[in-house]
Chains A and B, each alone.
Chain A
Amino acid sequence: MHSAEYNGYNQQVEKEKVNYFIPSSLPPEAASKVEEDAQPRYLEDEGFYVGEKPIVLQQNTNILENRLIKHGGRGWFGSDGQVDSLPNPVAEMATKPWVDSLDELDPCVETVYVKAQPRAVEDKYLQIIQNQVSDENELQIDIGSINFIHHSLMSREHVLASNITMMYDEYRMIRHKNYITFYTDKLAALRNAVETLKETLGVDPTALQKSRINDFTAEIRRTTQQLSTAESSERDMMRQIINEWEAIKSLREEQGYNNTSVRLVVKKEEVNYQHDLNNWETEVAHQVDERRAEYDVIILSAHQEEMRKYQVQLQEWKQNRLKMKRIRKRMQRGSKENLLDPSSEVAIADIIKPDKPPPFDDVTVKNEVMNDLIVNRRNPGEARISLELTHTTTITPTPSVPPSEANRRRAMQKTSSNLRVLFNGREVFQTEPKILSSDFKLNFGSIFRVRIAQWPESLKVGVVDTLRLVSKSITSTFYLDIPPTTVHSGNVRLGVSGFTSNKVESHTHEGVGSGTPFTLRTNETNPTSLNTKGQLISSVSWSLDANGRVLAPKGLVEREDPISGANPLKSNDPVIAIGAERLQDPESLTKWVQESRLDPNDPENAALVPFMQGNKDGDVFLTQDYFRLEQLQEEFNFITEEEFSRLNRFRLLRLRHEEIPEFRNISMLPCNEHEVTESAFTAYERRLKEKDVVKMERGVDGDRIEVLKFRQNVKDAVLHRFYTSRHHYSLQDMVHEEQVPDIGTLGASIVKIAEPRRPLKPVRKTRKKAMSQNLTEGSVRILVNVVRGYNIPTRQASHSHQPDRRGEVQVGGAMAASSLRVGQHLDPSSKSYLVAPFVAASFQDATVTTSVAQGPSPSWNEELQLPFCAPNSDYNASNLQKVDDVLFIHLFDRVTEDATPTNTEDTATIITRVQNHWLGSYELPFSTIYQRGKIDGTFKIKVPPVLLGYNLEREIVLYRLKLSLKYQSSGTYLTIFVTLEPVLKPMDPPNLTNPTTLRLKFESQEDVSLLRRCVTYLADCNKRYPNRNVKTTVIDIKGESVLITRFVRPLPPPPELTEATNTNTIITLEKIARFVSLIPFVSDNVTYAGICDLWSTCDQFMQMLCGDEEEHAILLLNYFLHLGKQAYLLLGTAVPEGNTAYVLTVDHNEYIIWNASTGEYHDKSDPHSPLQSVGALINDTNIWFNVQTQDTPMRVRYNVTRMSDWKAFFPITATPLPSIQPESLYYPPTDQSYVANLIDAVERTLKDRIVSWRPRHITRWNRSGNSILRQIVKGLEERVSRKTGVMVNTGHNEQLLSQLGDVRFTGYPMDQPYTGVEAVVSAVRSTEVHKIQDPDVEFSMAVHIHAYPASVLAVWVYVAAIVNRRRHDL
């Protein structure tokens, strides 16, 4: 332990100095940043592209640099002494301008939609059509040899030898061309010509002759100069070669071995000195003469000309002077005005006498000429030298060379090279690898043929060096020209193409390396550095076929024309990308590139670099750095597209992949094409056809079919989009994870401990939902719990028409008697409550029944179980919600009657016959059960308005329920509870806040801000009450989102419905509702289960004559609004539909809820109303969402102006937005003859069917009954629409009884919207009238179709089974 110690400030500073380093912010010395004894090198000054460095404060840079220097981080600095940094990556211009809000879009940045124009793929590929068997396109590539001019494995001697070889080649070329002889001969010829010309000239040559002589003289002079240049350059060349040879010789001596075989032979040709001298002197004389002549012609004649001019001017001046003198004299005498005439004054100074040119000096000229000759030409007596390069030197064998050289030679032997040829960027072949020979030549000598299917765009050659057979490296690549079609294998010649490599290599042995400096000559001070360089001797041509035809693609000729628009290469040209389209001509392009001084190192100009380098031949290789999607698709296709669609197996595979219902569960799809039968598709094809056929049967116009088809297409597209989005999973779909318990759940779990074990009021626990993968066939059941029934029709006692009680007992038997007592007990005043009802539930061909109960208000309390089989055993949510099976709940009366023949004496045996009389039914689509999980409540059974032989006891129900009479609905009710066991997990309804379902948003014509408001409004509503039904936008038939209020617009109903009565009575409303309900109901929901509804406008609806709840509701609402009613569209949930739309009318505190698709209406406080909750109200101006805590119709306050009860979509109710509905509807009159024919057809079909349903019994028709029913049925439509069905009932009975006498009969009139004959038939069948097995039964039937305007048809069928009692009793 130390005691506390105080250090003085200075001491402290001293210590800190030792330990601390504070980097200075002053710039560090430049020398400390670069390599020792090296100067900073500024790449930018040397013309390299360095890019722009990001801006850093100088002070910070200095600190950083000082710190780096301190820590010895020299590696951080570049050669220019700056910290190495990448160029600033931030672009100056934003690629996409920032848009603040979509509302105020700057017109400058508004995007314009331009439809994509697909470029034909054929561009790249040669036309297949032309590509017949004989029409193959073939390139023939002849790879001759490679000559390395420099190679990293070359020794110094090789470098020199390569130099000398190159020089010698050049020399030989000059010699071959033999300029000297050429010019000498030319000179001689010219001189001759001049001589002869001069001779022919007379004393006075013409101007033409003179000029010719002058021309000749000039030509002679030029030629003389050329001769001098040629000769001197040849002499220079020779001198250099000899120098190089000297270097080689000295190098060989120095190293003591030979590496190359080059040897220079200097041949001297002895010449005659005298002869030479003579020639030389003549030459001198000639040249002097010529110069003199030239002097004469040019200088002297020019002088003479000038002299002549001078003389003229002098003469003029003299004359002027004389004139002036005369004028002056006159002036002195007379007027002074014209004293000075400026024009007359000519300055003497302007006229200069030209100097006489110096005389031709023979001696000087001769000296000049001689000097020139001595320097540039062979001097007299000098030997004529010619050089010859031979390869005769023997190379020193490897054993006798020093080890470093031996290493080099070994390395050479290990190195082999080959060529790779790439056509359009894909390798088509490689040559055999060849080992480098000692003269650095690779002889390939191979010819390849490449059959091509694409337009030739590039032919690239890569030189691959292989070291020790393993490490491969591409040293250099270069391009070969695609030959024009005229070049074929018959006429092609080998050409030379050069290549270089910038790969840096250095060796430890004698090899000089590549790109690294070395000293070539011993006495040289500055080292040289050479890159690997070589020449390929090759040729490319089009092949010839056996007939000598060129196998070049057609159209290549046109493609060569750079101006023609059909040139496909043009569109691939990178040059166009920079906006220089016009420069199609490569030469001018190269020129332009060079003139525009683009930086070759800037990556942006990469595409143009080939142009900058300015190829010697003016050829340009286009690099292709564009991207092409799926460019190799064709090659990767296993089979052609055509076959793919033709072969059944592939079709099957594809349909399965598309999850077409018929195919999605096919397994073990056959492997061979022939095993796939056509029958596999029949079901699918039939379905496709049925789409049309079914609608044809409905017998309405072609318009409707068209619209339906269109609608189907829109639905399919929407559904497809939906299913695509279903493939996006959330974490909950994938991973099962316990939720974090928050305070609430923790608290609840603590409270749970203190809870009573068996509470008196247990809380309903939600059942666990079963996952689809755990489900198997038969594990899912539908549970139907039938609790009780209300107001079930009772048998009519009156028709038994018995004076004595015996018959009654006989008819009812023991059970009837007991039920009679029950009835009497209920209401002693009447004994008519005799009924033995039971409920039969049927689903998917399975039917289960409850036991038989007694009386009009039975209590069964029984659970029925029905098996459920998913189609194709697929229990996936997406499949389940397509199930369109319906659960039927039928109510029957079991009538037990005595079938004992009356004439038999055997009283001990009583034979009774059991008959089930249909009383009514209720339909529940499976999709509703599936979506809602459970259905619980009291529902109205659809009972025919007239049940022959039964009484509908309305009053009792009213009495029991103590309700207001006015809008109370009558009818029969069943309390049931339906659920699935186990509960299937329904498909999640699309949630707008979920990003995956945002894909479901559709195109819209609505304002963007409006759509945005819709999203926020919906999100807000869903947050507050997620289960309440609300919509803001719906999809119209075009597949576009439309604001829902646009559907609301007052529309006049057909005048027939309103003309007769006062428009404001409930009867009119009833009539209208009846009309609307008669439009056939076709649900979207069954198939699409809330995914999307397509809403059609009223005119489309009327045209198609089918729609679901929304269309009906909208039409009804629009009619009501036209009548001046205060009405709203009510979105809510109802049974059995689920989410649905109703119409609410408000009239002096009376709130009536209309079900538009059935025509029924209820008071808001009717407990039997099918409407379960109220979600939103809509009219043409606004949408109101129910934000009250209660949503059952009877508890909701309907005053939409109350902000606390209703959340409005538009805060201020503005003028309604323009509607998409038409102004009025057109109701074409219905064709009466068509209706008449239809009545006949339906009746005939029904009679045939009833007969066929009773194969073992005779079916008799009671004609008088038929005619009575026909009378009755015609009046039914009028009466039923007034809701007076009960009154009618008795009337029917009386009518029938009075006509037929003592009969017992059962029968029902049924009405339904006309959708097709089959629908009517199945409705009749469901009544099971035909099942009556009494041998004496007779049937009566009548059909009537009430025609409303616009082909809205109400079908009435009245069937009755009549048993003649008298005959029976006999």
Chain B
Amino acid sequence: MSSGINPNPSVFLLMLNGQIESGEFPDFDELYCKFSFHHGQDWVVTSGLEEGISQITRRSRDERELFVWNFPLDVTYKSTNPHGWPQLVVSCYGPDSFGRDVVHGYGSMHIPMVPGKHRVKVAMFVPVSTSKLQQITSWLLGRRPEFVDPKVVAQGEGREVTRVRSQGHVTVTCNIVTRDLKKLGYDLQPSDVTNIPVATMT
């Protein structure tokens, strides 16, 4: 690796550089968000923060009603296997009407695979109470149901037992740089539709 370019790489690199720009959550005034990355066993963070927490932001006073964080994300991954491609898990918290900190949404997105600039709108949702009574008490006590681990939104296992409600959106922009993927045989470019061979013809 000393020369900088390795003709026979054993890992590929994925660099994400972007920000959690803003969120749209009707009915709330103040929000902050946490992010973390969830990845498979063959992925290693080589630089950058794997977890972070943003400032608290107020809803903008215009008709867009945006929550702007502009919270930077910068992470570089090293991997040997595209299985378990990293996912960004975002969860939003903020005070409810009694001023208690409750969760306002979970959401996840795969880091885009294709190099370039991407703008992703991540839908956010929260688990709902199991009964009306629970709903009332959780509202009263400010203890809304939460996922045991925010990373469950990046996994499929066990989701069938949960019921969730949509809350809003978080917009994430990211610039993706990859290295050595093609050398390892992974072609992430979308193939040209017109060039797909339909049959072995001579």
A interface residues (Cβ-Cβ under 8 A, vs B)? 427-430, 448-451, 653, 656, 665-672, 675, 727-731, 733-738, 740-741, 771, 773
Which single member of B41, B43, B201 contacts A448 (CB below 8 Å)?
B201
The answer to whether A430 and B198 touch (CB under 8 A), given A667-B44, A669-B81, A737-B130, is yes
Question: Is the CB–CB distance between A667 and B41 below 8 Å?
Answer: yes
Known pairs A656-B41, A675-B10 / 19 extra A-B pairs, C-beta < 8 Å? A448-B201, A450-B199, A653-B81, A667-B43, A668-B11, A668-B43, A668-B80, A671-B11, A733-B161, A734-B148, A734-B158, A734-B161, A735-B146, A736-B147, A737-B138, A738-B134, A738-B137, A738-B143, A740-B133
Which single member of B129, B133, B147, B201 contacts A429 (CB below 8 Å)?
B201
Separation of A733 and B162 alpha carbons in the complex (Å) = 10
Separation of A741 and B138 alpha carbons in the complex (Å) = 10
Which single member of B9, B83, B147, B200 contacts A735 (CB below 8 Å)?
B147
Question: Is the CB–CB distance between B80 and A669 below 8 Å?
Answer: yes
| Shortest beta-carbon contacts, A-B, top 6 | A729-B158, A671-B80, A737-B145, A428-B199, A738-B143, A451-B200
Which single member of B41, B129, B158, B159 contacts A669 (CB below 8 Å)?
B41
Separation of A731 and B133 alpha carbons in the complex (Å) = 17
Please report which residues of chain B, range 62-110, place their CB below 8 angstroms from some CB of chain A when the two chains form the complex: 78-81, 83
Which residues of chain B are within 8 angstroms of A737 by Cβ–Cβ distance? Answer: 127, 129-130, 134, 138, 145-146
Tell me if B157 counts as interface (CB < 8 A to partner A): yes
Tell me if B184 counts as interface (CB < 8 A to partner A): yes
Which single member of B43, B143, B162 contacts A731 (CB below 8 Å)?
B162
The answer to whether A733 and B10 touch (CB under 8 A), given A428-B199, A667-B41, A669-B41, is no
Separation of A653 and B42 alpha carbons in the complex (Å) = 10
Annotate B28-46 by CB proximity to A: 1 below 8 A, 0 otherwise: 0000000000000111100
Separation of A451 and B199 alpha carbons in the complex (Å) = 8
Tell me if B149 counts as interface (CB < 8 A to partner A): yes
Tell me if B177 counts as interface (CB < 8 A to partner A): no
B49 to chain A, nearest CB (A): 18
B63 to chain A, nearest CB (A): 35
Tell me if B141 counts as interface (CB < 8 A to partner A): yes
Which single member of A448, A669, A670, A735 contacts B162 (CB below 8 Å)?
A735
The answer to whether A729 and B200 touch (CB under 8 A), given A667-B41, A669-B42, A735-B145, is no
Question: Is the CB–CB distance between A667 and B159 below 8 Å?
Answer: no
Question: Is the CB–CB distance between B199 and A735 below 8 Å?
Answer: no
Annotate B115-136 by CB proximity to A: 1 below 8 A, 0 otherwise: 0000000000001011101100
Question: Is the CB–CB distance between B41 and A666 below 8 Å?
Answer: yes
Separation of A728 and B184 alpha carbons in the complex (Å) = 36
Question: Is the CB–CB distance between A736 and B146 below 8 Å?
Answer: yes
Separation of A671 and B82 alpha carbons in the complex (Å) = 10
Question: Is the CB–CB distance between A729 and B157 below 8 Å?
Answer: yes
Which residues of chain B are within 8 angstroms of A773 by Cβ–Cβ distance? Answer: 149
Separation of A773 and B127 alpha carbons in the complex (Å) = 20
Name which of A450, A672, A731, A738 has the most chain B CB atoms within 10 A of its CB.
A738
A984 to chain B, nearest CB (A): 16
Of all chain B residues, the one with the shortest Cβ separation from A663 is: B41
Which residues of chain B are within 8 angstroms of A728 by Cβ–Cβ distance? Answer: 158
Question: Is the CB–CB distance between A668 and B137 below 8 Å?
Answer: no
Separation of A1269 and B95 alpha carbons in the complex (Å) = 79
B127 to chain A, nearest CB (A): 5
Tell me if B152 counts as interface (CB < 8 A to partner A): yes
Question: Is the CB–CB distance between B161 and A730 below 8 Å?
Answer: yes
Which residues of chain B are within 8 angstroms of A668 by Cβ–Cβ distance? Answer: 11, 41-44, 78-80
Which residues of chain A are within 8 angstroms of B131 by Cβ–Cβ distance? Answer: 740
Tell me if B2 counts as interface (CB < 8 A to partner A): no
Please report which residues of chain B, range 47-65, place their CB below 8 angstroms from some CB of chain A when the two chains form the complex: none
Separation of A668 and B10 alpha carbons in the complex (Å) = 10
Question: Is the CB–CB distance between A735 and B148 below 8 Å?
Answer: yes
Annotate B1-28 by CB proximity to A: 1 below 8 A, 0 otherwise: 0000000111110000000000000000
Tell me if B191 counts as interface (CB < 8 A to partner A): no
Of all chain B residues, the one with the shortest Cβ separation from A427 is: B198
Question: Is the CB–CB distance between B141 and A429 below 8 Å?
Answer: no
Which residues of chain A are within 8 angstroms of B162 by Cβ–Cβ distance? Answer: 731, 734-735
B89 to chain A, nearest CB (A): 13
Separation of A430 and B141 alpha carbons in the complex (Å) = 66
Of all chain B residues, the one with the shortest Cβ separation from A428 is: B199
Name which of A448, A669, A728, A773 has the most chain B CB atoms within 10 A of its CB.
A669
Tell me if B195 counts as interface (CB < 8 A to partner A): no
Question: Is the CB–CB distance between A671 and B199 below 8 Å?
Answer: no
Question: Is the CB–CB distance between B202 and A449 below 8 Å?
Answer: yes
Separation of A734 and B161 alpha carbons in the complex (Å) = 8
Separation of A672 and B147 alpha carbons in the complex (Å) = 38
A475 to chain B, nearest CB (A): 20
The answer to whether A736 and B148 touch (CB under 8 A), given A449-B202, A669-B42, is yes
Separation of A448 and B134 alpha carbons in the complex (Å) = 68
Separation of A675 and B141 alpha carbons in the complex (Å) = 56
Separation of A449 and B42 alpha carbons in the complex (Å) = 44
Question: Is the CB–CB distance between A729 and B161 below 8 Å?
Answer: yes
Please report which residues of chain B, range 173-196, place their CB below 8 angstroms from some CB of chain A when the two chains form the complex: 184
Of all chain A residues, the one with the shortest Cβ separation from B148 is: A736
A458 to chain B, nearest CB (A): 16
A543 to chain B, nearest CB (A): 9
Of all chain A residues, the one with the shortest Cβ separation from B126 is: A735
The answer to whether A734 and B143 touch (CB under 8 A), given A430-B198, A741-B137, is no
The answer to whether A450 and B200 touch (CB under 8 A), given A734-B148, A735-B147, is yes
Separation of A670 and B80 alpha carbons in the complex (Å) = 6
Separation of A888 and B107 alpha carbons in the complex (Å) = 48
Separation of A733 and B129 alpha carbons in the complex (Å) = 15
Question: Is the CB–CB distance between B145 and A736 below 8 Å?
Answer: yes
Separation of A570 and B80 alpha carbons in the complex (Å) = 48
B162 to chain A, nearest CB (A): 5
Question: Is the CB–CB distance between B202 and A671 below 8 Å?
Answer: no
Which residues of chain B are within 8 angstroms of A666 by Cβ–Cβ distance? Answer: 41
Separation of A653 and B79 alpha carbons in the complex (Å) = 14
Separation of A728 and B159 alpha carbons in the complex (Å) = 10
Separation of A427 and B148 alpha carbons in the complex (Å) = 48
A771 to chain B, nearest CB (A): 7
Separation of A675 and B159 alpha carbons in the complex (Å) = 37
Interchain residue pairs with CB less than 8 A apart (13): A430-B198, A448-B201, A449-B201, A451-B199, A653-B81, A667-B43, A668-B43, A672-B184, A733-B158, A734-B158, A734-B159, A735-B145, A736-B145
Separation of A734 and B138 alpha carbons in the complex (Å) = 17
Which residues of chain A are within 8 angstroms of B10 by Cβ–Cβ distance? Answer: 670-672, 675
Question: Is the CB–CB distance between B161 and A731 below 8 Å?
Answer: yes
Which residues of chain A are within 8 angstroms of B137 by Cβ–Cβ distance? Answer: 738, 740-741
Which residues of chain B are within 8 angstroms of A675 by Cβ–Cβ distance? Answer: 10
Which residues of chain A are within 8 angstroms of B149 by Cβ–Cβ distance? Answer: 771, 773
A632 to chain B, nearest CB (A): 15
A1106 to chain B, nearest CB (A): 36
B82 to chain A, nearest CB (A): 10
The answer to whether A727 and B157 touch (CB under 8 A), given A668-B42, A670-B10, A735-B148, is yes
